A and B are shown apart, each in its own frame.
Chain A
Amino acid sequence: MQTKPDSILDISDLSVHFQLQGGAFSRVFGVRARTVKAVDGVNLTLGRGEVLGLVGESGSGKTTLGRALLGLVPSTEGQITYHDRERGDRIVSALRGQKLRELRTDLQMVFQDPHAALNPGMTLEEAIGHPLVIHKIAKGEELHRRVVEALEKVGLSPVERFLSKFPSDLSGGQKQRAVIARAIILGPEVLVADEPVSMLDMSVRAKILQLMLDLKQDLGLTYVYITHDLASAKYFCDRIAIMYLGRVVEVGPTEEIFANPRHPYTKALLAAIPEPDPERMVPRDLPRGEIPDAANPPLGCSFHPRCPEATRECGWESRDLRALIEEHWTRRDPETYQREKDLVGDLEVLDEPSVTARIGKGGSHDVRALLDRMRAEDEAEPLWSGVDEIQDDGDGVRVEFHPADGPPLRRAGDVDVACVLYP
């Protein structure tokens, strides 16, 4: 694979899928196992010395992608290449056993929860020196010297006060410093930091981020910063990849993403950040709903059911119709709801993803009239633009939606964006 000379990690067409086992019932009766596409065809390049942000909500696949970079979860498809200056290229996604362990001296991880990432039975000296012991790099005096050095680098000084402490003696900020000390003690090139400050009190978040920036400078590190918090990503990252349901939907230089967000999901995330700005009020035009089930993603673009800018081309389908009818019923009085419910019948038939939706049991004329009323009530609802036609079908109707594929990442200005609005 052709790579730019300055890249340190290359991710190409990477997918990480998890098989869901299902319960005892589905195993006995052989119901097909479901697959969660946690990471689904991601292409990214990590430049040497840069900070790349992976930003998204929970369920977006950002943590799985981060773990895959270190070989902590096996990749299903595609590959990750680590360009080691000394030892040449290594395919992270193909390494196993001893070879994978050797990789830890070059790629390391900082975990989200410092309270869980340290062994409560180890003193700081043992915990931070542990990687050197495991990799048989240092022992005795040398080990002690390097632990002291690492503690000093992360600001845990006077060192003597900390060496014999247990994690339970430390505050959240101090624990995270210890976790960072353990991550840098092997002298890695890349640190994958998964929400390193989100569990900390706000008064120390800035302090830990500053420490990480200082360490990057001193040790020449490259960071992958995983977060749901766009505000800290804006300050911390050189480039940002916005993820949604296993895919990168927008990626580009930080300034460009914030100055000129293109994907409707990026715009929504930016609008939703609560800002301590007295002039701002509660945003009113928020995307509806929540991140969908990754084992059963929407047809077409994954974001279309929530997208305020969705068009006819976004992949409308049966489940969207169900959601719309249910939402309509939150605005009806109890009698109307009961009448319409009897007319529409069972909504569960819409749960199987399909561009054809068959509903109704109270007569095709009345069902069609109900849909017309819903449409007249909210002409702007983008779902209606995706309806090709509505046909009578027995005592109900069949709604045919316009079929569409999910948009790939395409160049738009200085960024890449996966949205039909940027063809």
Chain B
Amino acid sequence: MTPVELHEPVSEPVDQGPVLEAVDLRVWYGTERGPVKAVDGVSFALQRGEILGLVGESGCGKSTLGRGLLGLLPDGADRDGQLRFQGRDMLSLKAKERDAMRGIDLGMIFQEPLTRLNPLMRISEHFEETLRVHDKSISKEEIERRSLEVLRLMGIPPTRYNAYPHEFSGGMRQRLMIALTLVLRPAFVVADEPTTALDVLVEAQIIRILHDLRRDFDTALLLITHNLGIVAEACDRVAVMYAGEIVEIGDAREVFTRPRHPYTRELLRSTISLRTTGLNYIDGAPPDLVEPPAGCRFHPRCPDAMSVCATREPVSRDHGGGTRAACWAADLADGLVTLDEHEKAALPREEISVADEA
């Protein structure tokens, strides 16, 4: 595989379809108690240059999905379903072929930049290592030219090229990590909580950089975050994950203005923002993914739950405005299904005490 030249225009792939496409993707971990269904039947597609935000509480499978897409899973975990990258079937690849795609086609930006940089290596050496893995014959001049170009786009002055990681501030280190990922020009990048460890002003700077990636690199980005504000400001689309499933996905503005799934709505309501006038929260905690609840997995915590929700699993349906959601109550509201009186009856809510809180 030859790396794409940075100066030449990126060649248009023949296939104009999505960069990445997952259909009914599952990632399960084996444990003594049985499989943990961390990602359980997830479907979505990501176009070139598109930013998809992935939100949900801790323990809903966001990080597992992100890693699963890149094949970065521990022993004892397995994927099935379908996953295609630029039309190529990713799940039938041999381990060697899969590893060769990492970095050059598939990139990852981690949360804690300091733990990902080698304290004994200069920044120039980090770039050298990264570029050499994929092209052994690359010259020193070429490495410097390409590295400085991407550093410049991240706002890191060329004078710092030979500095060590400890000489950089936290925000600069995260820019370095982004630069190290992008110097290989991957078509798809997963960023897992890239700003969680940063201060609010630096966080805003990094979000601006991520938001501008498509302009400079044409990269498709999956941005995993617990911060709904970041999604609203930086993402084109948003996927809301609950208990291993995507319960709602659509245009970010549309989903935030008109959330169809009660989980999305309650998540938005529980976020404390500058416009908060009262405190709201979701009772209870996400379920154990070894034995998730029957029917809709959110039904024990859902304020809108009906008796059908406890028995039959909702299907992801198109709710207009480009939003897909898996919720019986939303289906009913949008006239997508008819339910009999018994099915529509409000589900008596069991008392959820602090004993079950997240």
Contacts and interface: CB of A to CB of B under 8 A. Distances in A.
Interface of A: 57-58, 155-158, 161-162, 171-174, 177, 200-207, 209-210, 228-232, 234-235, 258, 268-278, 280-284, 286-287, 290-291, 306, 326-327, 329-331, 334, 337, 341, 347
Contacts of A232: 272
Contacts of B35: none
Contact of B199 (A58, A174, A337): A58
A205 to B, nearest CB: 6
Contact of B169 (A172, A207, A209, A290): A290
25 contacts: A200-B358, A203-B267, A204-B358, A206-B270, A207-B279, A210-B279, A234-B274, A272-B201, A273-B273, A274-B204, A274-B227, A274-B229, A274-B230, A275-B229, A276-B231, A277-B275, A283-B208, A286-B204, A326-B157, A326-B159, A329-B158, A330-B155, A330-B156, A334-B158, A347-B159
Contacts of B203: 272, 274
Interface in B292-321: none
* Residue among A201, A270, A280 having the largest count of chain B Cβ atoms under 10 Å: A201
Interface string B149-187: 001100111111000000001111000000000000000
B234 interface: yes
Nearest to B197: A58
B114 interface: no
B232 A206 contact: no
B243 to A, nearest CB: 13
Nearest to B168: A290
A206 B272 contact: yes
Interface in B227-268: 227-234, 252-254, 256-257, 266-268
B145 interface: yes
A278 B256 contact: yes
Given A201-B58, A274-B207, A276-B232, 9 more contacts: A174-B357, A203-B267, A205-B270, A210-B281, A280-B233, A282-B211, A287-B201, A290-B170, A327-B157
Contacts of A155: 354
Nearest to B268: A276
Interface in B262-291: 266-268, 270-277, 279-282, 285
Contacts of A229: 200, 272
A311 to B, nearest CB: 21
Nearest to B204: A272
A206 B272 CA distance: 7
A204 B152 contact: no
B1 interface: no
A203 B57 contact: yes
A201 B232 contact: no
Given A231-B276, A282-B234, A177 B208 contact: no
B172 to A, nearest CB: 8
Q: How many residues of B sit at the interface, in one of the four size bands?
A: 35 or more
Contacts of B282: 203
Contacts of B280: 206
Closest 9 CB pairs of A and B: A274-B229, A326-B157, A278-B253, A57-B199, A206-B279, A272-B204, A276-B228, A278-B256, A206-B281
Nearest to B145: A334
A61 B231 CA distance: 30
A202 B233 CA distance: 18
A205 B229 contact: no
Nearest to A197: B272
A379 to B, nearest CB: 21
Contacts of B151: 330
A194 to B, nearest CB: 16
A178 to B, nearest CB: 11
Nearest to A205: B272
B353 interface: yes
Nearest to B169: A290
Nearest to B276: A235
A234 B276 CA distance: 9
A195 to B, nearest CB: 13
B202 interface: yes
Nearest to A269: B200
B152 A202 contact: no
Contacts of A284: 208
B204 A283 contact: yes
B57 A231 contact: no
A96 B200 CA distance: 37
B226 interface: yes
A205 B355 CA distance: 16
* Residue among A258, A337, A341 having the largest count of chain B Cβ atoms under 10 Å: A337
Contact of A275 (B160, B226, B274, B355): B274
B207 to A, nearest CB: 6
Contact of B358 (A58, A173, A231, A329): A173
A274 B272 CA distance: 11
A174 B284 CA distance: 11
A171 B358 contact: yes
A290 to B, nearest CB: 5
A57 B157 CA distance: 24
